[in-house]
Amino acid sequence: MSKKIAIISGSIRKNGYSTQLAQALQPLFPEGYTTEIVEIGDLPLYNQDFDSEATPESYITFRNKISGSDAVLFVTPEHNRSIPAALKNALDVGSRPYGQSAWNGKPAAIVSNSPGLLGAFGANHHLRQILTFVNMPVLQQPEAYFSKIAELLDGKGGFTSESTQKFAQSIVDAFVQHIERY
């Protein structure tokens, strides 16, 4: 049976590193898995009034894509030692209206990255806290931090070295095993 994986890039910047990394991870999934990078940049800021009034079409589309997926891979940069505002907004949009969370029970994995040395450690762990609250079982090991990301991506949808490719494959393989448990 085919599995649908929603991939959320925490970066809304054109050609951002997180989106490039997400694209490089897509072909590493095995046969029987389909992936889709789900856009978050067009989501208006979450407003609870939208849940009882005119819900934006982008909210409906986003919630349906997440609800229709079997698992979610988050690929995120770090902003001020946390996740980017656009990613937090997407998490809020997907978790509402209350009691109808699109995230509920979906296996998840987090891959964080930064141009610096810490690999977005802070964002990775803040995101874990949020995913625990929205009831997503998160892959614990291997932890996935990509430091000096600009040096690791080839700009053509792949990685610059075999060792980085192997590390990325180990993350995808562990995530697939995690998904199969649910």
Number of domains in the chain: 1
Q: What is the pTM of this model?
A: 0.97
Q: What is the pLDDT of residues 105-128, one digit of tens each?
A: 999 999 999 999 888 999 999 999
pLDDT in the model for residue 98? 92
Q: What percent of the chain has pLDDT over 70?
A: 100
pLDDT tens digits for 89-106? 999 999 999 999 999 999
Residue 133 is which amino acid? F
For residue 56, cis peptide bond before it (omega within 30 degrees of 0): no
Residue 11 has pLDDT above 80, yes or no: yes
CATH number at residue 37: 3.40.50.360
Which amino acid type is present at position 70? D
Q: 25-36: per-residue pLDDT in tens?
A: 999 999 999 999
pLDDT confidence band for 1 (50 / 70 / 90): confident
Which of the four pLDDT bands, split at 50, 70 and 90, describes residue 10? very high
Name the residue range of residue 93's domain. 3-180
pLDDT at 180 over 90: yes
Nearest C-alpha neighbor of 118 from the set 152, 149, 85: 149
63's CB contacts (< 8 A; 6+ apart) are 93, 94, 102
Distance CA 142, CA 32 (A): 23
Which pLDDT score is estimated for 53?
84
